[in-house]
Each structure stands twice: as structure tokens, then as C-alpha cells.
Amino acid sequence: MSEKVQKLMNDSPVARWTVLILVALMMFFAYMFVDVMSPLKSLVESNLGWNSGVFGTYAASEYILNVCGFLIIAGVILDKLGVRFSGILSAAIMVIGAAIKFIGISEWFQTTAFAAWLNSWWVTMPASAKMASLGFMIFGCGCEMEGTNVSKILAKWFKGKEMALAMGLEMAIARLGVFGVMWIAPVISARFGGSVVAPVGFCGALLCIGLINFIVFAFLDRKFDSQLVEAGLATAEKSPEDEFHVSDLGAIFKSKMFWMVALLCVLYYSAIFPFQRYATNFLEETLSIPAASAAQLFSCFPILAMCLTPVLGIFLDRKGKGATMLMVGALIMIVCHLSFAFLLPVFPSKALALILIVVLGVSFSLVPAALWPSVPKIIDEKILGSAYCLIFWVQNIGLCLVPLLIGSLRQSTGGYLVPMIVFASFGVLAFFFSILLKREDRLKGYGLELPNIKKEEE
């Protein structure tokens, strides 16, 4: 048996935190691209001829291919071919999707024969929306695949170390993208005479930088794998019992804990991400303020989340209480959405809106910070990538359908009361599943309430 290498790459704080920065920046750029058109909803409708229903369809398109099974395939690719190949592939897919979306909303494209043909069928959906949705669908495949890939990368590089802190910091950096794009997109748009194309092009260019980041990461990870083989902690060729098999997916689907986590995840995120698409327009109408001001106000949403998530990660690493955090986060979300529905319209104050937005950010710290580091505790490492992808797959079903529902309700009711009640109801169901999750953990001892960092035995 070979002697253990004196020091592995992930034993070096500089190396493992460099990996974190490389992959987190990719998600930062991805989150910017996801929401680049959210603060421009009114402008999109006036410039491109969309309405709330079309905008809802566009927002839902990000998840359509994932729901149709791409995320299941992505999980198999991740577990069979590894984080390096999957990371570069998913980053490239995002760049391709962004390019198609950019072309679709450009003025040049509107004058082409292809655009005229697209306008000749499904006339309620303009050609620009069809192309933007196609690009967003392709981008969404890469984005969700990369999200699961990043989780597995951090689980690998921070195993037995500051895993929750690392995942918390990655989420905080990614959410900074939401904050940044809410400010930057209107500014870039105004600088280019009210253009929707310019902000999309800027965020697309950032995705190219993210692709380069993953290529750099691939070199570091290859060296780390060589060290693991040399140390006897891994083999160049996987043994039959360690090799991933597609049949292993059955073990995931049969896991009660998997379904509790997946359903909690889809319900919680269905009340967050679709809300982000409409939040600027909601504040614009409820507070009677310009769209740019509404976008800047909502940009505060991830601020407290960015600050709290790493702190909560440290707490989880050292003290635990992950299942309890899930319950508290769901409760906070319920209160915030009900306040948006009933309190803010009666007292249309920027100060009240800011408080509710920031408090909702607290919820957005508690739940993800506790949720993602919990998955390695309930799923075998060799199928961890598939487990993350399957959770994202279930989540994407909700994220695909909910924007369609909200867009339809918004179009039919002409207001945001009913949509906000729907968001709050998702929180109620998420709270119910968090109770079941904590109960199952207490009975079976998965360790969701235990700290992540293992103390060295004397």
C-alpha cells in the first residue's frame, strides 16, 4: 500500500479557496444572466411587444428542457465523467444559450425572414420571445447542470473541512449577481438609449469569462486527483462496486429522505425565484415608483443573505441544527409573502418594502445554507451528482410551471394579490415538509442536526 502524500491540495487553504472562487464566479455570472431582464420588464414589453403572459412563458422556458429529462442525463454525465468534463460542458452550454437569446432580441434579427416565419405561427408569442425562450432553455440546461456540479466540487474539495461555509460563500457570491444585475442592467440600458440588448450582451460576455474559469479549475482538479491516487485515497480506475451505474438512480428514488428534501426544495424555491422575475414590476406598481428605482430597491434582497449565509455555514459546520434552520426559513418566507400581499398595498412605503425584502433575504440564507450541505449526509458519494441533479430536476418542474401560473394570474386578475397568496401557500407546504424532515432525521439519525466538521480523535 502506497504511503500517504504528506499534504493534499485541499489541505492547503489557498488551493481549496481558489477553487471556490473560480467556480463561484461562474455562478455569479450565471445568476446575473438569469435575472438580467427582470428589472427591464416594462421596457421589454414596450420595446419587444411582449405582455405579462409572454414574459411568464419566457421566464418558465429556462427550466423546460431540464424538466423534460436533461437534468437526469446531466446527473449521469456528472457521476460517470466527473466534475471537470461536466463543468466545462455546462459552462459552454450556457454561453451558447446566451448567444441565441442575444440574437433573438436584437433589432437585426427582427428584420430577418426567419423572424417573419416565427411570427407566422403562435401569433401571441413574438419571434423575439420565441428565440429568447429557446436560448434561455439551452442556457437553463447549462446553469442547472453547473449548479449541481459546483455542489459536488465543493463536497469533494471541502470534505471533512468547512463544507457548509464553502457552500454558503458560493451561494453568497452567486446571489451578489442578483444584486449587481438589478443595478447594472438599468444603467447599461439607459446608457444605450433604453436598449434591452446591451445588458444581455454584457452578461453574456461575463459567461465567457466563467467558461475560462472552469478550464483553469480543470487543471487544478486533475492534479488533485493525481494526488488522491498517489495517496491511496482513490484509484485511477474505479472498482466495480464504486463505479456508477444507471440502476443506482433507483436507490435515490426509493429514498424517503430524498423526496422530503426534493419536495421541500421545489416548494421553497418556487416561492423565491419566480418572485424575483416579477418583484421589480410588483414594487413599481405597488409603490408607484419608476422601474429603475424598484429594481434598486429589490436589489437589497440578497444583501443580508450574502452576509448571513457564510455565518450560517460556519454555525452549521461547528454546531449543526440544519433541520431546524429549514423550518425557521420557511416560516419567515410565509410571513414575508403574506405581508407583500396584504400589508404593503395598504401601507405603500419604501421603508416597509425594504424591511420585507431584507427579511425575505434572511429566509434565503437559512434554507439553502442548511439544505445543500445536508444532501451528502443522506446520499452515497458515488451517486451524489445524480442526487443533486434529481433534486434540481424536481425543483425545475416547479420553477417551470410557477412562472406560467403567476403570469396567467397576473394577466387575468390585473394585480399581484393572488400571486402573492400563491407564493405564501408554497411556504406553508415547505414548512410542513421541513417538520417531516426533522422528524425522520430524529428517528433514523442521518445527522442533519449535527456539525459538519469532524473533530480529530485523540
- Per the CB < 8 A criterion, the answer to whether 98 and 134 are in contact is no
Give the pLDDT confidence score for residue 156 in this predicted structure: 84
Low-confidence ranges of the chain (pLDDT < 70): 1-6, 232-248, 452-458
Task: Please tell me the distance from the alpha carbon of residue 307 to that of residue 319, in angstroms, as a whole number.
Answer: 19
Question: Shortest CA distance to 224 belongs to which of 15, 382, 3?
Answer: 15
Q: Tell me, what amino acid is at 238?
A: K
Give the pLDDT confidence score for residue 189 in this predicted structure: 93
Residue 300: helix, strand or coil by DSSP? coil
Task: Please tell me the distance from the alpha carbon of residue 383 to that of residue 165, in angstroms, as a whole number.
Answer: 23
Q: How many residues does the chain have?
A: 458
Give the pTM: 0.74
Does any domain span residue 225?
Answer: yes
pLDDT in tens, 26-76: 999 999 999 899 888 888 888 888 988 888 888 888 888 888 888 888 878
Question: Shortest CA distance to 126 belongs to which of 22, 205, 226, 44?
Answer: 44
Question: Shortest CA distance to 372 belongs to which of 246, 220, 265?
Answer: 265
Q: Tell me, what amino acid is at 17?
A: W
Does any domain span residue 278?
Answer: yes
Give the pLDDT confidence score for residue 247 in this predicted structure: 66
CA distances from 18 to 10, 25, 233, 339, 400 (A): 10, 11, 22, 41, 34
Cell of residue 125, nine digits: 408569442
- Per the CB < 8 A criterion, the answer to whether 410 and 52 are in contact is yes
Does any domain span residue 4?
Answer: no
Number of domains in the chain: 1
Question: Shortest CA distance to 274 belongs to which of 394, 185, 396, 368?
Answer: 396
Does any domain span residue 305?
Answer: yes
Residue 10: helix, strand or coil by DSSP? helix
Does any domain span residue 338?
Answer: yes
Q: Which domain holds residue 218?
A: 11-237+249-444
pLDDT in tens, 381-432: 777 777 877 888 888 888 888 888 988 898 888 889 999 999 999 999 999 9
> Domain containing 426 — which CATH number?
1.20.1250.20
Does any domain span residue 375?
Answer: yes
Neighbours of 223 (CB within 10 A): 11
Does any domain span residue 92?
Answer: yes
- Per the CB < 8 A criterion, the answer to whether 282 and 55 are in contact is no
- Per the CB < 8 A criterion, the answer to whether 333 and 430 are in contact is yes
Does any domain span residue 63?
Answer: yes
DSSP 214-273: HHHHHHHHHHHHHHHHHTTSS-SS--TTTS--GGGHHHHHT-HHHHHHHHHHHHHHHTTH
